[in-house]
């Protein structure tokens, strides 16, 4: 803690997200993470970048949350701030059409060749510090052949 203050020190960390660069909706994906807060529970989201026409110009797109693949442990970083996570790539994301009513909108499926961001965030706290880590990696959606 800082002298004369009851607030813990706030530390921001820029996480590194590494993937193979290709994600397939409905399939297992594995990413490697580093530079995260130690022993922090993590959240992973897939979001279309704001350069997507419906996400930046006309509407707002919600990030699609992910969950650990069946049989894998919950998302958590190691004592060194690293993690190897496996999740099922979501099929779609939600597009908000009214800024004042976020529940209004439609579900949009990921398109073949669409660029996406893999967002990661984690927070760990001790008595002396609160560490916040966040970062993103880029990937391209590849739909399975029909």
Could you name the CATH architecture of 10-141?
Sandwich (2.60)
Please tell me the predicted confidence (pLDDT) of residue 141. 94
Please tell me the predicted confidence (pLDDT) of residue 102. 80
pLDDT in tens, 80-122: 999 999 999 999 999 888 878 888 889 999 999 999 999 999 9
Alpha carbon of residue 111 to chain centroid: 19
Residue 50 CA to residue 55 CA, distance in Å, equals 5
Please tell me the predicted confidence (pLDDT) of residue 125. 93
Please tell me the predicted confidence (pLDDT) of residue 83. 95
Please tell me the predicted confidence (pLDDT) of residue 1. 47
3-state secondary structure 8-57: CEEEEEECEEECCCEECCCCEEEEEEECCCCCCEEEEEEECCCCCHHHHH
Tell me which residues of the chain have a pLDDT lower than 70. 1-5
Please tell me the predicted confidence (pLDDT) of residue 5. 66
């Amino acid at each position: 803690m800082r002298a004369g203050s009851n607030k813990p020190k706030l530390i921001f960390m820029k996480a590194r997200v590494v993937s193979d660069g290709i994600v397939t909706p409905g399939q297992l994906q594995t990413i490697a993470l580093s530079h995260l807060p130690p022993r922090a529970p993590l959240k992973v989201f897939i979001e279309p970048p704001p350069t997507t026409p419906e996400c930046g110009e006309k509407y707002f797109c919600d990030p699609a949350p992910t969950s650990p693949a069946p049989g894998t442990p919950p998302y958590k970083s190691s004592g060194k701030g690293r993690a190897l996570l496996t999740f099922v790539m979501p099929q779609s994301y939600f597009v908000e059409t009214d800024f004042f009513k976020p529940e209004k909108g439609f579900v949009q499926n990921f398109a073949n060749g669409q660029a996406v961001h893999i967002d990661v965030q984690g927070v760990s706290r001790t008595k002396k510090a609160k560490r916040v880590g966040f970062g993103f990696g880029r990937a391209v959606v590849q739909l399975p052949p029909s």
